[in-house]
């Protein structure tokens, strides 16, 4: 074990590292120096665990600062943290201005199970998921609570991957709790989101597809939006289909409780017709959506939406009355909104 530990530390100091024969990797406490990034590429089937937290010096390196790239991996953080020292970067401008902020902070390639670790204070986007096989992300805490004033674009999970389950995670941040940008067979269940922009599919750009997503049993509190499907207004050959919401408890403090829009980056505008949104259902057990802001509790801004949407298990309240524009022929059945 000891020599493997050494490999990991060396990986940060030199530009070479070779863990490709390692089936057991231990990550001890250390600091990643300025300018360096780390990639863990162990043998297929490897087990990786942490025995201490990893801290990152203020750096001008671009993200990801840490990459997991191992197939069939079993990773457990054992409750330890990746400390991004976001407060050294946060200036209220996010990735759109101000000081350069390395992002994403941690990237997942390869595939497997990833559990029980903490992301503490990511400079901007926390976790990028680009896995290539069946994967699960469980019992992860993204704690960007300290960015409440100056943290921006601190997305919890940004997902471009298929066959992934997210379960029992907690995200405290200032942007999307999860943003699903492409992929299919994705489950987001029993997670807790606080302070951010809620649970999002999108934003969807040209040639991207999201399908067969289940969003169930989640709780969203103190968030700008509750849940969104957002498709770029100029997107072509893009689609969002077969999305099922069940048993979620969602509260938005400011804007829409639920927003489905093909006008992104506007909430409501001139929706595009180069993409299709179909089969958006609220079924199974009841999903409650509330908003306390002066926005419609539910907004639907479709340029081209199709199918019959079963909203029988949606109960939305608060805010202003709902604003539903269903161009494209979609029909909504049931629900209270």
Residue 195 Cβ vs ligand NAG, minimum distance, rounded to whole Å: 30
Residue pair 250/287 in contact (Cβ under 8 Å)? The answer is: yes
- Residue from 116, 222, 242, 320 in contact with ligand NAG (CB under 6 A): 242
Name the DSSP letter for residue 58. Answer: -
Strands 238-246 vs 24-27: parallel, antiparallel or unpaired: unpaired
Residue 22 or 305: the one with the smaller Cβ distance to ligand NAG is: 305
* Structure tokens belonging to residue 149: 């004033």
Rounded-to-integer distance, Cα 309 and Cα 296, Å:
19
- Residue from 226, 279, 299, 302 in contact with ligand NAG (CB under 6 A): 279
Q: Does 248 bind ligand NAG (CB under 6 A)?
A: no
Residue 40 or 258: the one with the smaller Cβ distance to ligand NAG is: 258
Residue 12 or 283: the one with the smaller Cβ distance to ligand NAG is: 283
Residue pair 29/9 in contact (Cβ under 8 Å)? The answer is: no
- The answer for residues whose C-beta is within 8 angstroms of residue 166's C-beta and 6 or more apart is 136, 137, 138, 157, 178, 186, 187, 188, 189, 191
Give, as ranges, the residues between 289 and 328 that touch ligand NAG (CB under 6 A): 308, 310, 312-313
Q: Which of 103, 107, 120, 197 is catalytic?
A: 197
Using CB positions, name the residue nearest to ligand NAG.
283
Q: Does 281 bind ligand NAG (CB under 6 A)?
A: yes
Q: Does 283 bind ligand NAG (CB under 6 A)?
A: yes
Residue pair 220/249 in contact (Cβ under 8 Å)? The answer is: yes
Q: Does 239 bind ligand NAG (CB under 6 A)?
A: no
| Among the residue ranges 18-26, 97-105, 115-123, 281-289, the one whose residues contact ligand NAG (CB under 6 A) | 281-289
Rounded-to-integer distance, Cα 166 and Cα 137, Å:
5
- Residue from 169, 244, 248, 263 in contact with ligand NAG (CB under 6 A): 244
Residue 311 Cβ vs ligand NAG, minimum distance, rounded to whole Å: 8
Tracing tokens 């995670």 back to the chain, one arrives at 169
Closest-CA residue to 183 (of 156, 160, 167, 216): 160
Residue 247 Cβ vs ligand NAG, minimum distance, rounded to whole Å: 11
Alpha-carbon torsion (87, 93, 96, 99), positive or negative:
negative
Residue 72 or 242: the one with the smaller Cβ distance to ligand NAG is: 242
Residue 332 Cβ vs ligand NAG, minimum distance, rounded to whole Å: 10
Q: Does 222 bind ligand NAG (CB under 6 A)?
A: no
Rounded-to-integer distance, Cα 75 and Cα 77, Å:
7
Residue 143 Cβ vs ligand NAG, minimum distance, rounded to whole Å: 34
Residue 270 or 336: the one with the smaller Cβ distance to ligand NAG is: 336
- The answer for residues whose C-beta is within 8 angstroms of residue 104's C-beta and 6 or more apart is 63, 64, 122, 124, 125, 126, 127, 128, 158
* Structure tokens belonging to residue 74: 């079993």
Catalytic residue check, 197: yes
Closest-CA residue to 169 (of 160, 161, 158, 178): 178
Q: Does 284 bind ligand NAG (CB under 6 A)?
A: yes
Q: Does 240 bind ligand NAG (CB under 6 A)?
A: no
| Among the residue ranges 36-44, 220-228, 251-259, 275-283, the one whose residues contact ligand NAG (CB under 6 A) | 275-283
Q: Which residues bind ligand NAG (CB under 6 A)?
A: 242, 244, 279, 281, 283-284, 308, 310, 312-313, 333
Q: Could you give the residue numbers annotated as active site?
A: 197
């Amino acid at each position: 074990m000891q020599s493997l530990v050494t490999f990991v530390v060396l990986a940060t100091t030199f530009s070479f590292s070779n863990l490709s024969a390692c089936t057991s990797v231990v990550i001890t406490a250390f600091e990643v120096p300025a300018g360096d990034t780390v990639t863990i590429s162990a043998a297929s089937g490897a087990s990786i665990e942490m025995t201490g937290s990893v801290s990152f010096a203020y750096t001008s390196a671009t993200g990801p600062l840490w990459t997991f790239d191992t197939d069939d991996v079993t990773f457990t953080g054992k409750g330890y943290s990746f400390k991004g020292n976001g407060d050294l970067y946060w200036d209220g401008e996010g990735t759109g201005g101000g000081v350069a902020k390395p992002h994403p902070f941690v990237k997942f390639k390869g595939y497997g199970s990833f559990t029980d670790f903490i992301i503490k204070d990511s400079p901007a986007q926390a976790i990028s998921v680009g896995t290539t096989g069946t994967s699960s992300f469980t019992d992860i805490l993204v704690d960007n609570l300290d960015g409440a004033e100056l943290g921006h674009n601190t997305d919890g999970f940004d997902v471009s991957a298929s066959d992934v389950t997210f379960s029992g995670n907690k995200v405290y941040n200032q942007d999307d709790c999860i943003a699903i940008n492409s992929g299919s067979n994705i489950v987001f269940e029993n997670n807790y989101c606080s302070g951010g922009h809620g649970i999002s599919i999108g934003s969807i750009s040209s040639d991207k597809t999201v399908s067969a997503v289940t969003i169930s049993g989640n709780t969203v509190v103190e968030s700008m939006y509750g849940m969104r499907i957002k498709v770029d207004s100029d997107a072509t050959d893009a689609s969002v289909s077969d999305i099922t919401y069940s048993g979620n408890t969602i509260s938005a403090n400011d804007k829409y409780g639920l927003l489905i829009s093909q006008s992104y980056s506007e909430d409501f505008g001139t929706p595009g017709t180069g993409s299709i949104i179909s089969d958006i259902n609220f079924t199974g057990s009841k999903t409650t959506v509330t908003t306390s802001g002066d926005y419609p509790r539910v907004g639907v801004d479709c340029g081209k939406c199709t199918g019959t949407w079963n909203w029988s298990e949606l109960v939305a309240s608060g805010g202003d009355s709902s604003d539903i524009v269903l161009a494209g022929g979609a029909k909504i059945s049931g629900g209270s909104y």
